Amino acid sequence: MNENAQAVFNRPQLFGEAVTHYCPGCAHGIIHRMVAEVLEELGIEGRTVGIAPVGCAVLIYNYIQTDFIEALHGRAPAFATGLKRVSPDLIVFTYQGDGDLASIGTNEIIHAANRGEKFTTIFVNNAIYGMTGGQMAPTTMPGQITATSPHGRNVKECGYPIRIAELLSSLRTPAYIERVAVYNPQNIVRAKRAIRKAFQYQIEGRCFSLVEVLSTCPTNWGMTPQESLKWQETTMLPYYPLGCFKTPEGEVKE
């Protein structure tokens, strides 16, 4: 190797050697990596404890080499509350999917956010239950075909998808809420910036922070990886607008 060569791109050291268990085209890998990079860049990996969800991302601890606790379905915000309250010097984050956070765990996320618990939530919304085999989630798009909505989500019976970022933004306490997407490099850069900001606020002890990341599930959407990126952009984005909904400074930007 040339002595003058400079490494400009490496895998984060925090990433272990495990071979991914995620399906081709799934964005969990990208999102895991962004979290790992941010923890490393901020130098907080040694005092971070992650709370793994129930769902595909339960095995997040195989990839990100920090302490982890496996939460029960939907309860990661309660775990994080307990841990952060008794160990305020730790950096605590939950990593949750939409079945986990937006369905079975709505109570826990709303109240943790409303109490202003000082941890960070990475909320991965791919509009479907992944691990259980592609059933309808509260975030499933109108008309979207899933294993339990074989004729498409009927909004007359099931209502419209829940917009978690907007819902939590209606609360007065929670202070940093942003929605990002990962369907192209430009958005991935923005997403990482948001994740970094969320952890930065936690380091400063300022607020509860949540980043909703629109993601993909090619396997359960019945699409190729390329098609799923396109579908995220054309179908999910118009319903789930990207942007920052709340900051601790009180400014709301679009």
Partner 1 sequence: MSRILMKGNEAIAEAAIRAGAVYYFAYPITPQSEVGEYMSRRLPEVGGVFVQAESEVAVGNMLMGAVASGKRAFTSSSSPGISLMQEAISTMAAARLPVVLINIMRGGPGIGGILPSQADYFQSTKGGGHGDYRVLVLAPSTLQESVDLTMLAFHLADKYCNPTMVVADGMIGQMMEPVQFPEDYKEEPLPPKDWATTGCRGRAPRIIKSLFLDPAMLETNNVMLAEKYKLMKQNEVRFEAYKINPQNRILLVAYGTMARICQTVIDELAEENISIGLLRPITLFPFPGKEIFAEAVKPNIKAVLTVEMSMGQMVEDVEAAVQGRKPVEFYGRTGGIVPTPEEVRDYILKILAKKTPAVKSWKG
Give the binding site for partner 1 (CB under 8 A).
45-49, 51-52, 58, 61, 65-72, 75, 78-87, 90-91, 107-108, 110-111, 115
Smallest gap from Cβ 166 to partner 1, in A, equals 21
Smallest gap from Cβ 112 to partner 1, in A, equals 8
Residues in Cβ contact with 26 at an 8 Å cutoff, skipping those fewer than 6 apart: 56, 130, 215, 216, 217, 218, 219
Q: Which is nearer to partner 1, 131 or 158 (CB)?
A: 131
Smallest gap from Cβ 91 to partner 1, in A, equals 8
Kind of pairing between the strands at 209-214 and 120-125 = parallel
Q: Which is nearer to partner 1, 64 or 191 (CB)?
A: 64
Smallest gap from Cβ 220 to partner 1, in A, equals 19
Helix, coil or strand: residue 93: strand
User: For residue 46, what are its two tokens?
Assistant: 């040694």
DSSP-based helix, strand, coil % in the chain, nearest 5: 40, 15, 45
Q: Which is nearer to partner 1, 92 or 217 (CB)?
A: 92
Helix, coil or strand: residue 83: helix
Smallest gap from Cβ 212 to partner 1, in A, equals 21
Answer yes or no: are the C-beta atoms of 169 and 246 closer than 8 Å: yes
**Residue found under tokens 């629109």:** 214
Q: Which is nearer to partner 1, 54 or 141 (CB)?
A: 54
Q: Which is nearer to partner 1, 22 or 221 (CB)?
A: 22
